[in-house]
């Protein structure tokens, strides 16, 4: 018997005592209990029948969801950087439009745009966000993180993908044991 069953029994005993003390014990009959029990059994049977009709959960669907979650986590940084770049280019275009509409003679006919280039490194490396390993630099008025120190310049941890932030296996890197 679990705690809920005990509470129900205690409640029924207390109710019975109150009913007997007030001479209303004949209000609740054993047939009421029987009817309630039959109703509960019927509802439980319907529930079990419904569960049996349900399809089994496909584990591969869960794995697919996990892969999608990991992909979203990996893409959040590049998407954020692309979004920032788009916003900066929109601001440059609006500034160029204002300059053209104000008839400034020195306004170039070519619209300036910011462009970023991805530089692939030769080897995977582990870097951290510690103040001793990073510095903030401004490029075109935008603060960027420069990883001054590479904690482990040739890091080949198994199971850790490139550009992965906060991966559980990074704690196994030799740089973390220094």
Tell me the per-residue pLDDT of 106-158, one tens digit each, with 9 for 90 and over.
Answer: 666 666 676 667 666 666 667 777 777 778 887 767 777 777 777 767 777 77
Average per-residue pLDDT in the chain? Answer: 74
Predicted confidence (pLDDT) at residue 49 exceeds the cutoff of 80 = yes
Read off the pLDDT of residues 109-121 as tens digits, 9 standing for 90 and up: 666 676 667 666 6
Are β-strands 134-139 and 142-147 bridged in parallel, bridged antiparallel, or unpaired?
Answer: antiparallel
Residue 73, C-beta contacts closer than 8 angstroms, at least 6 positions apart:
165
Grade residue 40 by pLDDT with cuts at 50, 70 and 90.
confident
Rounded to 5 degrees, φ, ψ at 138 are -105, 125
Of residues 2 and 116, the one with the higher pLDDT is 116
Give the pLDDT of residue 104: 64
| Range of lowest pLDDT (3-12, 125-134, 168-177) | 3-12
Q: Count how many residues are written for the chain.
A: 178
Q: What is the pTM of this model?
A: 0.38
Q: What are the two backbone dihedrals, phi and then psi, of residue 45, each rounded to the nearest 5 degrees?
A: -65, -40
Q: Which two tokens stand for residue 149?
A: 């120190």
């Amino acid at each position: 018997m679990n705690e809920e069953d005990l509470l129900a029994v205690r409640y029924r005993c207390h109710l019975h005592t109150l009913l007997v003390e007030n001479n209303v014990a004949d209000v609740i009959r054993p047939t009421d209990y029987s009817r309630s029990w039959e109703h509960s059994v019927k509802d439980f049977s319907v529930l079990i029948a419904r569960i049996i009709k349900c399809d089994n959960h496909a584990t591969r669907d869960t794995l697919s969801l996990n892969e999608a979650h990991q992909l979203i986590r990996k893409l959040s940084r590049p998407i954020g950087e692309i979004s920032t770049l788009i916003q900066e280019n929109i601001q440059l275009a609006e500034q160029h439009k204002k300059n053209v509409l104000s008839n400034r003679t020195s306004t170039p006919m070519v619209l300036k745009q910011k462009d970023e280039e991805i530089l692939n490194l030769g080897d995977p490396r582990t870097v951290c966000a510690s103040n001793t390993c990073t510095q903030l630099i401004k490029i075109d008025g935008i603060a960027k993180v420069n990883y001054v120190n590479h904690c482990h310049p040739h890091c080949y941890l198994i199971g850790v993908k490139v550009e992965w932030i906060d991966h559980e296996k990074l704690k196994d890197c030799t740089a973390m044991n220094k």
